[in-house]
Amino acid sequence: MLPLALLLPLLPLPLIVEPARASLIRIPLRRVYPGLKTLNSLRGWGKPTVPPSLGVPSSGDKPVFVPLSNYMNVQYYGEIGLGTPPQNFSVIFDTGSSNLWVPSIRCHFFSLPCWFHHRYNSKASSSFQPNGTKFAIQYGTGRLDGILSEDKLTIGGVKSASVIFGEALWEPSLVFTLAHFDGILGLGFPILAVGGVQPPLDLLVDQGLLDKPVFSFYLNRDPEAVDGGELVLGGSDPAHYIPPLTFLPVTVPAYWQIHMERVKVGTGLILCAQGCAAILDTGTSLITGPTEEIQALNAAIGGFSLLLGEYLIQCSEIPTLPPISFLLGGVWFNLTAQDYVIQIARGGVRLCLSGFQALDIPPPTGPLWILGDVFLGAHVAVFDRGNLTGGARVGLARASPLPAGPQGGGSAQAQFSGWRPG
């Protein structure tokens, strides 16, 4: 079991902005409105036994940008290619896992999700290299089985990256059938990678295609906007957020885990009063926390309990609901009701869902709060794996209220903080 690290006292860190020395690679997101249904988090909580090795050395000078798509304002995904010529797939860029997998054309006949998604065909790729090692990933909603293969990855215009990825042969879970994505590209730490496979981010750095192991998410929550946001590989785009960035050290380098000092509902209810662990997870739609605290939070905002720890909100009450604030690194990060209530309107029916869901994660991994897309949609997060002289950290800032930056996968100059702990 991976022991929880000691929680460190956190203070806001000064931001030192330097011009980027290379263009960043952007990947745009699409937006889909499927109707009155939601998908639960795919998260399966493993129990790593050995701490990961940090400090991937940077090489090369080509940071990368990836566009994301938005599913009902609670799922974001973007496009990659595998093989030569590239076979395109929509994937969730997931900070809570570390493997890349897509459905295979060789999948089991009774694996229903395969028939509703794009499937990788090794025979159609001139750059395919067989591996054949079996792999299995356990998610909260089911098991995924397949084999490992090697081929070229196309992402944000970069085409020369050689990656080992999973060809899914068996996807028994109904959630994969309903999903608007084909697969998952993990952006967690190497210790989470099933089969000891090197994660895609590490491969891009080692092969000289990224200057540094840094990436950032801008998730556009505006339902009227055409784009769903942007993943930036190799740095961040200051046009996406309102400075400064507040950096927090990663306390357990497996998931992107940080120390949260407190949660406040309006001017009254205090949760996480003695401090608690939190994970920033782009693969989780809502914000989750221990059942007792989430029950108290939803009671304070008038939520009605549903199944699976979810809550309904009266849509007419949204203008009167209190802000909910998270104390991170000595800075309050605020969510308004417009941020934390998910509003769904189809066929004249309007449904409002609380963005807070009860989820008890047992020790030693838990208890934990998961700050998913409801939190990350209101804030830009910069994920920095660190290097040999500095540890991993996460930078947070309020997202810019207006869509910013060039779209469509082109490159653009950007700035990134050069701070490293001494």
Q: Which of 151, 227, 281, 373 is catalytic?
A: 281
Whether 141 shows a pLDDT value over 60: the answer reads: no
For the chain, the average pLDDT equals 79
Q: Is 94 a catalytic residue?
A: yes
40 by DSSP, 3-state: which? coil
Q: Can you read off the two tokens belonging to residue 226?
A: 């055409």
- Please indicate, yes or no, whether residues 263 and 370 belong to a single structural domain of this protein: yes
Q: Tell me which of 411 and 352 has the higher pLDDT.
A: 352
Mean pLDDT, residues 129-158 taken together: 87
User: What are the b/e assignments for 351-390, b being 16+ CB within 10 Å?
Assistant: ebbbbbbbbebeeebbbbbbbbbbbbbbbbbbbbbbbeeb
pLDDT at position 43: 38
CA distances from 219 to 70, 321, 400, 404 (A): 8, 23, 10, 11
What single letter denotes the amino acid at residue 342?
I
pLDDT at position 376: 94
Whether 413 shows a pLDDT value over 60: the answer reads: no
For residue 325, which phi and psi values (nearest 5 degrees)?
A: -120, 145
Whether 66 shows a pLDDT value over 80: the answer reads: no
- Please indicate, yes or no, whether residues 252 and 184 belong to a single structural domain of this protein: no
293 inside domain? yes
- Please indicate, yes or no, whether residues 186 and 324 belong to a single structural domain of this protein: no
Which residues sit opposite 358 in a β-bridge?
289
- Please indicate, yes or no, whether residues 249 and 334 belong to a single structural domain of this protein: yes
- Please indicate, yes or no, whether residues 149 and 202 belong to a single structural domain of this protein: yes
Identify the CATH number of the domain in which residue 351 sits. 2.40.70.10
- Least reliable range by pLDDT among 131-145, 250-264, 310-324: 131-145
Most confident of 153-162, 326-335, 366-375: 326-335
Residue 117: band (very low, low, confident or very high) from pLDDT cuts 50, 70, 90 = confident
Rounded to 5°, the CA angle 115-104-152 comes to 135
**Owner of token pair 């293969």:** 149
CB atoms within 10 A of CB 53: 10
43 inside domain? no
Q: Tell me which of 273 and 159 has the higher pLDDT.
A: 273
Q: Tell me which of 73 and 87 has the higher pLDDT.
A: 87
- Please indicate, yes or no, whether residues 173 and 299 belong to a single structural domain of this protein: no
Whether 401 shows a pLDDT value over 80: the answer reads: no
Residue 402: band (very low, low, confident or very high) from pLDDT cuts 50, 70, 90 = low
**Owner of token pair 């934390």:** 340
Mean pLDDT, residues 134-160 taken together: 86
- Please indicate, yes or no, whether residues 186 and 288 belong to a single structural domain of this protein: no
pLDDT at position 77: 85
118 inside domain? yes
Whether 97 shows a pLDDT value over 50: the answer reads: yes
Q: Which of 94, 151, 373, 384 is catalytic?
A: 94
Residue 221: band (very low, low, confident or very high) from pLDDT cuts 50, 70, 90 = confident
For residue 74, which phi and psi values (nearest 5 degrees)?
A: -130, 0
pLDDT at position 123: 97
Taking only the tens place, the pLDDT of each residue in 12-62 is: 333 333 333 346 888 887 655 433 333 333 333 333 333 332 222 223 333
pLDDT at position 233: 94
Q: Tell me which of 14 and 285 has the higher pLDDT.
A: 285
- Please indicate, yes or no, whether residues 198 and 245 belong to a single structural domain of this protein: no
Whether 73 shows a pLDDT value over 60: the answer reads: no
Residue 174: band (very low, low, confident or very high) from pLDDT cuts 50, 70, 90 = low
- Please indicate, yes or no, whether residues 248 and 341 belong to a single structural domain of this protein: yes
- Please indicate, yes or no, whether residues 254 and 394 belong to a single structural domain of this protein: yes
| Percentage of the residues of the chain whose pLDDT score is greater than 90 | 51
- Please indicate, yes or no, whether residues 74 and 181 belong to a single structural domain of this protein: yes
What single letter denotes the amino acid at residue 120?
Y
Decide: 373 and 284 in contact? Cβ < 8 Å. Answer: yes
Whether 69 shows a pLDDT value over 70: the answer reads: no
- Please indicate, yes or no, whether residues 301 and 203 belong to a single structural domain of this protein: no
pLDDT at position 388: 62
Domain count, the chain: 2
7 inside domain? no
Mean pLDDT, residues 68-75 taken together: 51
* Rounded-to-integer distance, Cα 83 and Cα 359, Å: 38
162 inside domain? yes
Residue 76: band (very low, low, confident or very high) from pLDDT cuts 50, 70, 90 = confident
| Percentage of the residues of the chain whose pLDDT score is greater than 70 | 75
274 inside domain? yes
113 inside domain? yes
Find the domain containing 358 and state its range. 241-398
Taking only the tens place, the pLDDT of each residue in 288-341 is: 999 999 999 999 999 999 877 789 999 999 999 999 999 999 999 999 999 999
For residue 207, which phi and psi values (nearest 5 degrees)?
A: -90, 10
Whether 142 shows a pLDDT value over 80: the answer reads: no
Q: Is 227 a catalytic residue?
A: no
52 inside domain? no
**Owner of token pair 């491969």:** 203
